[in-house]
Structure 1
Amino acid sequence: MIKNIRLKIAYDGSGFHGFQSQNDHRNVEDEVKKAIHKVTGENNRIIAAGRTDAGVHAKSQYVNFLTASPINPNAFNFHLDPYFPDDILALEAEEVDLGFHARFSAINKTYKYVIYTGKVMHPVYRKYMEHITYPLDISKMEEGLLALKGEHDFKAFMRADKNLEINTIRTIDDCYLREDKNKIEIYFTANSFLHNQVRIMCGSLVELGRNKLSIDDLKAYFENGKKANPTLNPQGLYLWSINYD
């Protein structure tokens, strides 16, 4: 009997060249497929909720795969963990409807971006936060978040070399920031995002906070087609949660 397994995983992205399978670079997808093969003996195709870039982390990533294995669906995470490298962890597993698709069945996803604002950042954090030492006006950054929220054409916030003929209209359902001493955490929730969209939006918010960009300038990105910048580094970005309910 064929079963569709939904697997929740987490990973430290600093040792991966992104999630997607690539011939010449270490990636999350190949590590997950190898582990599943060792457990099931099958060459399972896996479907991911999203494809994170090189250096990007995941607190909550979901994949699904079909299997004829007799293993209890709720125990797959325990069977897989011994075959995962130290920078991937299987958190949960369950059987879902055969029509479930990890990407298309998701209602929304939340990404978190972390910025450290202290003058000196301890080396243990360098792979997990962006480091910005300029003074930042938090109130202006929050004003920028209000401007980004809702439905807009985010073409200006897409990676510059992605000249694909795709619909660049996206809706940010929720966005906010939290400040704690020398750390700023910025959250974005949407059904889907363009390539590099979160990192570019965060870069624009930093420019706002530095008074290098005005709110009118930010809003103009939705209209004039000029590319927004800068794109912040990947190590501060986390795929934080995915909602299927």
Structure 2
Amino acid sequence: MIKNILLEIAYDGSNFHGYQSQNDHRNVEDELKKAIHKVTGENNRIIAAGRTDKGVHAFCQYVNFLTASKINPSSFNFHLDPYLPDDILAISAKEVDLNFHARFSAKDKTYKYVICRDKIMHPVYRNYMEQITYKLDLEKIKDGLEIIKGEHDFKAFMRVDKDLEINTIRTIDDCYLEEEGSKLIFYFRANSFLHNQVRIMAGSLIELGRSRISLDEFKEYFLPTNKKRANPTLSPNGLYLWSINYE
């Protein structure tokens, strides 16, 4: 009997060239496939809720796969963990409907971006935060976050690719800023994001907070006539796929 297994995983992206399978580069998908093959003896196709880039972390990521294995669905995570590297953890597993799709069944995803404002950042954090020591006007940043909310054309906030023609309209359901000691943390929640969108949104908000651009200039990024690119693209180190909602 074929079962559809939904697996919750987490990983430290520091030593991965992203989630997606690719030749000659260590990636999360291939590590998962190898572990699942060890457990089931099958060459399973794995569907992920999202594909993170090189260096990006996942506090919560979901994948699903079909299997004829007789293993109890809720025990798959325990069976997989011995075969996974130390920087991937299988957190939980369960059986879901055969038509469930980890990506297309998701209602929304939340990404978190962490910035360290210390003048000297401890080296143990170098792969897990972006360091920004400029003086920032947080009220301007919050004003920018209010502008980002809702449905917009985010073409100015995506990685440039001349051969790529996609719909660049996206809806940001919620976004906000939190302060934790010397850390600034951005949260962005949406059904889907463009390539590098979160890192570019965070970078342009920092430019706004530094007063390198005005609020009016920030608003121009969303105009149909806009030709300017939002920038900069912050490093992947501070970015986390934080949660995925299926309810």
TM over 0.5: yes
State the AA in 2 paired with 1:153: D
Deviation at 1:225, TM superposition (A): 2.9
Cα-to-partner distance string for 1:199-218 (whole Å, 9 max, x where unaligned): 00000000011000111111
Matches within 5 A, 1:145-164: 145-161=145-161, 163-164=163-164
The question of 1:238 aligning with 2:234 is answered no
Partner residue in 2 for 1:198: 198
Counterparts of 2:162 and 2:71 in 1: how far apart (Å)?
Answer: 42
SS state of the match for residue 216, structure 1? helix
- Are residues 193 and 162 of structure 1, via their aligned partners in 2, closer, same or farther at CA, if it must alter by over 3 Å? farther
Counterparts of 1:219 and 1:71 in 2: how far apart (Å)?
Answer: 53
Counterparts of 1:226 and 1:45 in 2: how far apart (Å)?
Answer: 40
Partner residue in 2 for 1:177: 177
Q: Is there any run of 5+ residues in structure 2 with no aligned partner, and where?
A: none
SS state of the match for residue 222, structure 1? coil
Partner residue in 2 for 1:79: 79
State the AA in 2 paired with 1:239: L
Over the matched positions of the two proteins, sequence identity in percent amounts to 76
Matches within 5 A, 1:6-155: 6-155=6-155
Deviation at 1:163, TM superposition (A): 4.4
SS state of the match for residue 35, structure 2? helix
CA contact (8 A) 1:115 1:130 kept: yes
State the AA in 1 paired with 2:32: V
Q: CA RMSD in A?
A: 0.7
Counterparts of 1:99 and 1:26 in 2: how far apart (Å)?
Answer: 30
Cα-to-partner distance string for 1:93-151 (whole Å, 9 max, x where unaligned): 00000000000000000000000001000000000000001111111111100000000
State the AA in 2 paired with 1:15: N
Deviation at 1:57, TM superposition (A): 0.0
CA contact (8 A) 1:107 1:243 kept: yes
Deviation at 1:162, TM superposition (A): 5.7
Counterparts of 1:162 and 1:110 in 2: how far apart (Å)?
Answer: 28
CA contact (8 A) 1:160 1:227 kept: no
Structure 1 runs of 4+ with >6 Å offset: none
Deviation at 1:222, TM superposition (A): 1.2
Counterparts of 1:55 and 1:162 in 2: how far apart (Å)?
Answer: 24
Q: Is there any run of 5+ residues in structure 1 with no aligned partner, and where?
A: none
Counterparts of 2:164 and 2:204 in 1: how far apart (Å)?
Answer: 23
TM-score (norm 2): 0.98
Counterparts of 2:163 and 2:57 in 1: how far apart (Å)?
Answer: 26
Counterparts of 1:194 and 1:20 in 2: how far apart (Å)?
Answer: 16
Counterparts of 1:51 and 1:28 in 2: how far apart (Å)?
Answer: 10
Counterparts of 1:38 and 1:181 in 2: how far apart (Å)?
Answer: 44
- Counting matched residue pairs gives 245
TM-score (norm 1): 0.99
Which range moved further: 162-171 or 99-108? 162-171
